[in-house]
Amino acid sequence: MKAFAFDSRRLLMGRLERGDDLVEALTRFCAQHGVQAGCLSGLGALEQAELGYYDQAEGRYRTRALRGGLEIASLLGNVSLKRGAPFVHAHLVLADGQQACFGGHAMPGCRVFACEFAVWAVEGEVLERRPDAATGLDLW
Ligand code: ZN
């Protein structure tokens, strides 16, 4: 186990614009506000989504495209550094018109319809992603 200690710094809240790429826009927001570590959450809706599933045997993400209006039932994630720049890791639970839910890693291509979000920025240790040989992922 690894553990990191932080002091709560500030709570930022915002709204993404229709047509934004979800992860790209959140990453840009963090860079603009100097967030190098933190937690995030959000609600809203997507016009389309790309959800990832990390295939542990193959060591790569498999993606699934979802089209049509989708409710963001849950957006949870964190912010850390990767190659010295803010990196947003976000997971989604999305609901379709029948309230059937789909979940996974938010990949590029999640197009926002509306999204209200919060970022809890913290200060303390440097939280930097690096390749992890045991998983094939970039982890803290
Ligand atoms: Zn993930």
Ligand 1 centroid to residue 89 C-alpha, Å: 6
pLDDT of residue 132: 96
- The reported pTM is 0.95
φ, ψ at 62 (rounded to 5°) = -105, 140
pLDDT of residue 76: 98
pLDDT of residue 111: 98
Instruction: Please give the C-alpha separations between residue 92 and each of 54, 59, 106, 133, 140, in angstroms, as whole numbers.
Output: 14, 21, 6, 26, 21
pLDDT of residue 8: 86
pLDDT of residue 57: 96
The pLDDT averaged over each successive group of 10 residues in the chain (140 residues) is 90 98 98 97 98 97 97 98 97 97 98 98 94 96
Ligand 1 centroid to residue 9 C-alpha, Å: 25
Choose the CATH number for 11-122 among 3.40.50.2020, 3.40.50.620, 3.40.50.720, 3.30.1330.80: 3.30.1330.80
Ligand 1 centroid to residue 18 C-alpha, Å: 23
